[in-house]
Chains A and B, each alone.
Chain A
Amino acid sequence: MQMSKRNQFLLLGMILLIGLFSFPGIACAAETSYDNSGNLTFSSIGLAENPDSILGAALPPQPTLGTNLKLTDNLTITPDDSVTVKLRLNYLINTLLDPNDTNKFTLSRGYLDFSPNSLVSLRLGKQRLAWGTGYAWNPVNILDEPRNALTDNDDPEGITALRTDLYLGPVTTQIIIKPSASWESSDRAIRFKVSPAGFDLAYGLIGNNAGQTDHIFDFAYSFSGIGIRGEAFYQAEGNWRNDKKDILNYLVGVDYNFPGGYYLALEYYHNDSAFKDIPELLTYIAANSLDPITANGLITNLSNNGGIVRDHLFLRAMKTIGENFNTQLVFIYNPADQSVVVQPQLEYTWRQNTTLFCKLLYLNGGLNSEANISPIKSQLELGIKVNY
């Protein structure tokens, strides 16, 4: 059973309060150190609706021009060497979103980390696990909120969980409990990670809230200068629409740095848990939950509802020009329906803490293709980001 946002927030607050007062002197320790940082982003967005969208017009209709203001603040409190409290607060005003949701405050991180010795640490509260080695997608990272494949440092909300890290010899073991209304409906996971001879290897088991056991595996390796990585998620007799079938989602990827500062990453993602029949999607949810900033909400939401389709190829090319310019091209291709998502991006950094950016997003595809579902055809975003 999923907890509502409100209940999650209350749970988090309780956890933090319990944590703070469970450790004598934490809140008022004389040696407590504080660290605060964050950024402010403002952008203007123009978009063109997709006249061929098979979902029809979004409800309510999307405006074609809008603004986005996002403030992110990170506060880290360290009462002593063994305890850390971290809060990440986001405040978002987005005039392109649902009018009921334009003004949004979220706590994307809020946890207490307790590390009494070098062998064990506990983390309680809203956090991210960030499992997996893939750049665009992480099929093994199924307990976290999905990440945006188009944005390299996307910061989704954390999940409320109790996490234990054990450092025994070369093996790091994570034990996770993501609570729900009852123990049976809570997600439980254990994951082992080792780094032998240049490899990063991880294997885990997840007991999910449907009573099934998922297997996850990921690796990373560098061979002749080429970064090689992969991930796999396997569920035997998983729920697939009204049927049962084995589900295997996997990703393989490579990246390489070419002389002259060119960087290229390529990933292939296969998603077995997808529906094949797009028109049977929960179209209302899909159409109204779109993230108009990146249109990735389409992919995310369809994925959450079993709608994202089959296989995807991801390409990212980057090149820094001179001292201040950074260019990037992201390209996502769905070979099954020939649809594409293209996102070129240009950034100019001024005085190290201020970045001007320009992103263009374009989707194209034939009838019933993934791009054909989107109510957005193209989008241009101009903005400024200030770090402090």
Chain B
Amino acid sequence: MPTPFGTIYSTNITPDPETGIGRWSEQAFIRALRSGVDREGRHLYPAFPYDHFTRVSDDDAKALYAFFMSIDPVKSSAPPNELPFPLNVRLTLAGWKLLFLRQARFVADPSKDERWNRGKYLVEGLGHCGACHSPRNLLGAEKTSAGFAGGEAEGWRAYALGRSSRSPVAWDEAALADYLARGWHALHGTAQGPMANVANNLSQVDPADVRAMAHYLVSLGKGEGRNDVERTRSGPGRLPQAGGAQAATPSIPSEPGGAIYATVCASCHDADRPLPLGGSRLDLSTAVMDEVPTNLVNLVVRGIPAASGASARPIMPGFGDVLDDRQISDLANYLRTRFAGKRQWDGFAKAVAKARGGR
């Protein structure tokens, strides 16, 4: 797991006695889960989100232990972490915990209904959404005062949720539940990066639990998003469809970014076919509205690879090998100006270099 401090390797949690947790008692497992201390008493790095798992109920912690002990043991040891001094000394984590770890089980808010409380329990505990979606301080702890104000994970931006959301379309409960369980939504686009894995996992979770999470998250507020967005486009850029699958490109603007959009992007993104078979509406794209260009650049450079499975999922070819850095910058500048009404992001070239390097 790449972190701003170095690489941390997640350890074997199969019940293998030598290299896994086969010799761990239930108490040792629960202590690790909630307090970040392993069976031998060593502090664990908070890349393992025990600051969230401390909220998990006794019943769920025991159920997790029972499940892990039921899976097939695998003999495999993680490589040593790559962390600089003094972070490689686990005792420093005692200080970190003193400062940042508040050990407490989840307590339901009696003024709210059961579904809201269930959602909050899952979001704050096992779901540990804030681990990515909240900003972190210099010591890598979540800024509790800026919960869900947006964070970063593995080279991707984890968007702000709730009141800080930059989504041009307000999330409602149905849309969010749908997105979490399917990994995409026609008005909100596609989960990529680590969130694609999250959605894959959530597709196997009890739909009532996913709805409860959506219910709670939507209750946090909706930022500047609009509620009245039509499912299909009827605004500027609507194009007649040409014969076959490709739409005609609009007339080419003189501005370089606009010309790239018209000739490269518009045949899908302006073709009036909704997701998953057409391109998403970029005027509704959080990637274009966001404070940092990370996700837009990742998407332009890498595209959206096909996902396995029977259901139709959005897909997009990457253009990192077609467009050079200047062209990507021109394109992003155009999208930013036209759809977000804002200027090009600072540090754009760096974001492109990072996206190219991370492939």
**Pairing of A with B:** no
Q: List residues of B whose CB falls within 8 A of some A CB.
A: none
Q: List residues of A whose CB falls within 8 A of some B CB.
A: none
